[in-house]
Amino acid sequence: MRPRHCVGGRRRAPVPIIATPLRGGAAVERAIPTDAPESDAPAGSIARSVAIDGPTASGKSAVGRALARRLAYGFLDTGLMYRACTLAVLESPVDPDDEDAVAELVRGLDLDVQWPDPETPRVVIAGSDVSDRLREPQIEATVSLISRVPAVRDELVRRQRAFAERSPIVMAGRDIGTRVLTEARTKLFLDASLEVRAARRLAEEQAAGRRSDLGRVSDETDRRDQLDSTGHRAIRPEQAADDAVVIVTDDLDIDGVVARAVEAYERANAS
């Protein structure tokens, strides 16, 4: 088994760096062409993509968007696709506990992801943009159930790979480096403590105008860990791809994470 690495080529050891909180940070400097996800993909598109994995609220989306901006790539949080499937199930007669019926619905679902802004994909079902509905409480409570259905994962992995085959992409999720984009030369695993991740989720909910408290959000984050979409007890660094760069983000500034991610990308694609 190949050893995992840290940035700089040494054997990986998670070393937190004390800085400002992950949310925020100065803007990174390179603009993205608005048609990035629609461009013709040269050979090796998946290999030049970036896979970002990690547990809930570890910073995958914030880092993924900033890194995509830096690399002039599109960005996709694959969790949005699972949330969209959950919405479709909840608005259908299908019982969410009926795995066969859920799988059949997802296989036939008219689901698309569009990039009017490469950093902020829009999720479309049957021609309707449902992006603004994907954080509704009922979806939050049900998405783990839907995402654990093996046939659902198979179908969405197929669709996610199709995006990366079309053009290099920064893709974030739970098993991107170990299953979706195994050929990607740049794999990142972002990790943080439950306490820090719950605090981030709470800040996000409050910013969105939703009333919540740290205890409830902490319990929900822990539950998401226990019922994660891989079917394992929790997503921890030992579940990262063997060649992933692991970054502990508890106290790490977003610019610091992005700088290390860019370094990993440049090293992986130097040849």
- Residue 14 pLDDT grade (very low, low, confident, very high; cuts 50, 70, 90): very low
Cα 265–76–227 angle (5° rounding)? 105
Report the pLDDT value the prediction gives residue 227, as an integer from 0 to 100: 61
Residue 135 lies in a domain: yes
Q: Which residue has the higher pLDDT, 39 or 55?
A: 55
Give the range of the structural domain holding residue 129, as residue numbers without chain letter. 36-268
Q: What percent of the chain has pLDDT over 90?
A: 54
Residue 12 lies in a domain: no
Residue 7 lies in a domain: no
The gap from C-alpha 245 to its chain's centroid, in whole angstroms, comes to: 15
Sheet holding 245-248, edge to edge: 74-77, 169-173, 50-53, 186-191, 245-248
Q: Which two tokens stand for residue 23?
A: 């949310």
Sheet holding 111-117, edge to edge: 111-117, 120-125, 128-129
User: How many angstroms separate the CA atoms of 185 and 196, rounded?
Assistant: 29
Residue 68 lies in a domain: yes
**């998405």: which residue's tokens?**
143
Span 260-271, pLDDT tens digits: 999 999 999 986
Contact 155, 61 (CB under 8 A): no
Residue 23 lies in a domain: no
Residue 202 lies in a domain: yes
Q: How far is CA 8 from CA 44, 70, 245, 271, in A?
A: 24, 20, 10, 16
- Predicted structure pTM score: 0.76
CB atoms within 10 A of CB 215: 10
Residue 48 lies in a domain: yes
CATH number of 264's domain: 3.40.50.300
Residue 14 lies in a domain: no
The structural domain count of the chain equals 1
Mapped onto helix, strand or coil, the DSSP state of residue 52 is strand
User: How many angstroms separate the CA atoms of 159 and 162, rounded?
Assistant: 5
Span 218-261, pLDDT tens digits: 777 777 666 654 444 444 444 789 999 999 888 888 898 899 99
Average pLDDT rounded to a whole number, residues 135-142: 92
User: How many angstroms separate the CA atoms of 148 and 140, rounded?
Assistant: 14
